[in-house]
Amino acid sequence: MVRLVREAIDLTSLRAALLRPEDGALVVFEGTVRDHARGRRVCALEYQAYEPMALKKLEEICDRARRDFDIREIAIVHRLGRLLPGQCSVAIMICAAHRAPAFEACRFAIDSLKKTVPIWKKEYYEDGACWIESGD
Amino acid sequence: MTVRVLFFASLAEAAGTEAVEVAEPGAATVASLYERLAERFPGLKPLGAACLCAVNREFARADSPVRDGDEVAFFPPVSGG
C-alpha cells in the first residue's frame, strides 16, 4: 500500500489496515522534520512530488521488499506540502512473522525511497529558503 | 511531434514554469530536447548530475529517445524522506 497525503499521517488507521493475526512483528519507521540542517535553524519544510512517478517508484520499492525479505506486507505513506518541525513526513510500516526481516526491509525501503522516489524538500529558514537536492 | 515537459523543484523555479508543451520538428533525444528548452529557459542548469530526467515516468538518460506524446520530466536529485 502506498500513498501520498497532504494531511497528518494516521498511523493508527494504517496499523489497523495492515496488521493481521498471523503477524508476529510490526516495524514502523517515521521520518520527522528536524528543526536544524546544515548549521541553520529550519522553520518549516515543503515537500513536492512528481506524483504519478513517485507512486510508481514507491510501489516498486514495496514489490522489491516483499520479494527480497520474508515479510508479509509493507506500506509507505509520504506527506506533501508544508510541514513544521516535529511533524511526520514519511511513515513505513512492515508486518512480518518475525522481527529480523521486518527491520531489514524497513531499512531497505527508507534508503531506497531517499535515492529513487521523485520527491523534493525545500527548507525554510528565518531568512530565506532553499531546495534540497540529494538525500542525507 | 509534441511532448509534454514537466519541471520540478529548483528546475521549475529556474524555468519559471512547471509544465510546457514542446513541438519538435524531428527525431529527438532527451539531450536534444533539453538543448532547445535551455535556449527558451536560460535559467536551466546543464543536464547531468544536477538535473535528472524521466521519460513516461521512468528514469531516462541523455541519449534516451523522445517520441510523440511522451511525458518528459526534468528535476534535481531527489530529497524526499
Q: Would the CB atoms of B81 and A115 count as touching at under 8 Å?
A: no
**CATH superfamily to which B2-75 belongs:** Beta-grasp domain (3.10.20.30)
Cβ-contact B23, B1 below 8 angstroms: yes
Q: Is A132 on the interface with B (CB under 8 A)?
A: yes
pLDDT confidence bin for A134, thresholds 50/70/90: confident
Is there a contact between B78 and A135 if contact means CB atoms under 8 Å apart? yes
Going from N- to C-terminal start, the domains of chain A cover 2-15+22-126
The region of weakest confidence among A54-68, B35-49, B56-70 is B35-49
HSE-up of residue A38 (Cα within 13 Å, Cβ side): 9
pLDDT digits (tens, 9 = 90+) for A12-58: 999 999 999 999 999 999 999 999 998 999 999 999 999 999 999 99
Determine the average pLDDT of the residues in A87-107: 98
Q: What is the pLDDT of residue A11?
A: 97
Give the minimum alpha-carbon distance from B17 to chain A in angstroms, rounded to a whole number: 14
Strand partners, A75: A93
Identify the pLDDT of residue A136: 60
Which of A78, A110, A133 minimises the CB distance to B79?
A133
What are the domain boundaries of chain B?
Answer: 2-75
Pick the CATH number of A2-15+22-126 from 3.40.718.10, 3.30.470.10, 3.90.1170.40, 3.40.50.300: 3.90.1170.40
Least CA distance to B54: which residue of chain A?
A: A53
Tell me if B44 sits within 8 A of B14, measured CB to CB: yes
Cβ count within 10 A of residue B2? 10
d(CA B24, nearest CA chain A) in Å: 24
Helix (H) or strand (E) holding B22: strand B19-23
H or E stretch at B15: helix B9-15
Cross-chain residue pair B73–A115, CB shorter than 8 Å: no
Helix (H) and strand (E) counts for chain B?
Answer: 2, 7
DSSP chain A: -EEEESS---HHHHHHHH--TT--EEEEEEEE--SEETTEEEEEEEEEE-HHHHHHHHHHHHHHHHHHSS-SEEEEEEE-EEE-TT-EEEEEEEEESSHHHHHHHHHHHHHHHHHHS-EEEEEEETTEEEEE-S--
Does the CB of A34 have a partner CB in chain B at under 8 Å?
no
The fraction of chain A above a pLDDT of 70, given in percent, is 99
- Cβ(A96)–Cβ(A106) under 8 Å? no
CB-CB neighbors (< 8 A) of A110 in chain B: 81
ipTM of the predicted structure?
0.94
Pull the grid cell for residue A40: 541553520
B-chain residues within 8 Å CB-CB of A116?
59, 78
Quick check: A132 and B79 CB within 8 A? yes
